[in-house]
Structure 1
Amino acid sequence: MTGEPNPFGEAPAPDPLRVVVADDNPVVRAGLTALLDGREDLTVVAEAADGKEAYEAARAHRPDVVLLDVRMPGVDGIAALPHLVPLTAVLMLTYSGETEIVQEALRRGANGYLVHGEFTADELVAAVRDTRRGRPHVTPTAAGALLAQLRGRGAGSEASAPSLGRRWRTEGATSTENLSQLQPDVGQSVSDRSTYGLSGREAEIMDLIASGMNNQQIAATCFISEKTVKNHINRIFAKLHSTSRSEATAKWLGRAPGSDREWGDLS
């Protein structure tokens, strides 16, 4: 018969996932738009140069995901988040990797946090798709910020932001490889670490080393030079009686051979 649908025919392709790109740098916006529009299942429906424009674009176009920068003139990304989150999923995509900013963005409802230079084009596309499905993504710098909050800051730090700690340990840890790697270390005792005698800054840098960051990423996160990072690392290694990052990490996480917690004990 004519005019009747073929029950064995191919199903129509789903509508493309709709994205708003918000960044004050027009070159970055153009590059992201070209990258995403080049995928059959993605389309950029609007660009925005600040948080206010991102909010207006979200209201007008009802996108599936907003890619949101942090530092923008006028209304920045952090200020815009509470207004965007009720409308759509928001994935932070930024050069800002400071611990406090990462934690605040996630506390305000961002679905993930990507720092430029820490992901490939394919990883970005996968993160956008997963954000629409409610699966969070974080890159190493953001993972380090979560690591710093979830352990080593004392019981009071988690009590001050319980919703963030619970959200990322339960929802995020099961769907994001980076976060699942953080979960076993939440129970590490602060008192155990105090025996190494690291200063506050050294402990922060050791946390970032343990999260997998290189010296350049640590320098950017802590707003110090790479030379200063190297000086800190030399002192850390001396205090931990270690000669490599892997050995220092093992001791810092209580996983060194002969310690109470062996590598194989973490399941």
Structure 2
Amino acid sequence: MTVVDDTTATTREGPRRPVTVVIADDNAVIRMGLRSLVESSPRLRVVGEAADGDEAVRVVRATLPDVVLLDVRMPRRDGVQVAAEVHCWSKVLMLTYAHSPEVVRAAVEAGASGYLVHGQFASHELEGTVLAVADGAFLLSSPAAAALRESWATVVPEPEVAPVPVRPDLGLSARQQEVMDHIAAGRTNGEIAATFYLSEKTVKNHVNHIFARLGVRSRAEAVSVWLGGS
């Protein structure tokens, strides 16, 4: 883990705190190249580096940079997992070779504010992108934007589920409604009694009260009224 003390840059407008950056990539050569690019700008300052996902979380927590330059494929914890944890502390700019639709979408959903693909942007564009992300912009390189559009285009919308109609109780008690459901299913008084651990006489009393309440004389009529209320 490498942590560097922050300093204050001087611009033509006077002293101004530079945008602080953490670089997280398991490739030491890439980290070195990114550090060189970042530190070539007086408006940016590298305050830490990390070579794997766990280390990235620790460095970001320790330095609280304005922007994290984050690779996707890293040991111990991948960049998407890291983004999900650190985006509440710092802006996350994915900087990686991976640009499959699934990865780009996952990174954005994890909280990334930008996504650049190595080899698809000019070196001088990195400064502007980092500064814009630090200011709250959401930026994607062309390959990342195309991948995200492809990801959205392949999402199949979930079918709408029709609301289940609520059957009116028709004046029946909760127990009578349960008995009526079993009558509608074709069960006999004996079967209903066994289900609810009641005597057949008690079930018969429920049935008689149901018939009276529904104004019917037979089970068939009761079922017709009951189902007709669905």
Structure 2 length-normalised TM? 0.61
Residue in 1 that maps onto 2:24: 22
In the TM superposition, residue 30 of structure 1 has moved relative to its aligned partner by 0.3
Q: 1:74 to 1:144 in 2, by over 3 A?
A: same
Residue in 1 that maps onto 2:110: 108
In the TM superposition, residue 97 of structure 1 has moved relative to its aligned partner by 0.9
Residue in 1 that maps onto 2:50: 48
Match of 1:74 among 73, 76, 90: 76
Secondary structure at the counterpart of residue 70 of structure 1: coil
Q: State, as a whole percentage, how many aligned pairs show the same letter.
A: 42
In the aligned structure 1, how far is the partner of 2:18 from the partner of 2:36? 15
Residue in 2 that maps onto 1:147: 149
Give the structure with the larger helix fraction: 1
Bigger radius of gyration: 2
Q: Verify: 1:59 aligned to 2:61, yes or no.
A: yes
Amino acid at match of 1:117: G
Give the structure with the larger strand fraction: 2
In the aligned structure 1, how far is the partner of 2:143 from the partner of 2:23? 21
Residue in 2 that maps onto 1:91: 93
Residue in 1 that maps onto 2:227: none
Within 5 Å, give how 1:104-183 maps onto structure 2. Answer: 104-151=106-153, 153-156=155-158
Residue in 2 that maps onto 1:253: none
In the aligned structure 2, how far is the partner of 1:63 from the partner of 1:141? 26
In the TM superposition, residue 150 of structure 1 has moved relative to its aligned partner by 3.4
In the aligned structure 1, how far is the partner of 2:105 from the partner of 2:46? 27
Residue in 2 that maps onto 1:37: 39
Secondary structure at the counterpart of residue 13 of structure 1: strand
In the aligned structure 1, how far is the partner of 2:20 from the partner of 2:118? 21
Matched-pair contact (CA < 8 Å) for 1:127–1:136 = no
Secondary structure at the counterpart of residue 37 of structure 2: helix
In the aligned structure 2, how far is the partner of 1:138 from the partner of 1:81? 16
> Aligned Cα RMSD in Å?
1.8
In the TM superposition, residue 156 of structure 1 has moved relative to its aligned partner by 3.8
Deviations 1:138-187 (A, max 9, x none): 11221112211333544349x9xxxxxxxxxxxxxxxxxxxxxxxxxxxx
Secondary structure at the counterpart of residue 129 of structure 2: helix
Amino acid at match of 2:26: D
Q: 1:155 to 1:24 in 2, by over 3 A?
A: same
Secondary structure at the counterpart of residue 124 of structure 2: helix
In the aligned structure 2, how far is the partner of 1:82 from the partner of 1:152? 23
Within 5 Å, give how 1:144-223 maps onto structure 2. Answer: 144-151=146-153, 153-156=155-158
In the TM superposition, residue 11 of structure 1 has moved relative to its aligned partner by 4.7
In the TM superposition, residue 81 of structure 1 has moved relative to its aligned partner by 1.4
Matched-pair contact (CA < 8 Å) for 2:102–2:151 = no
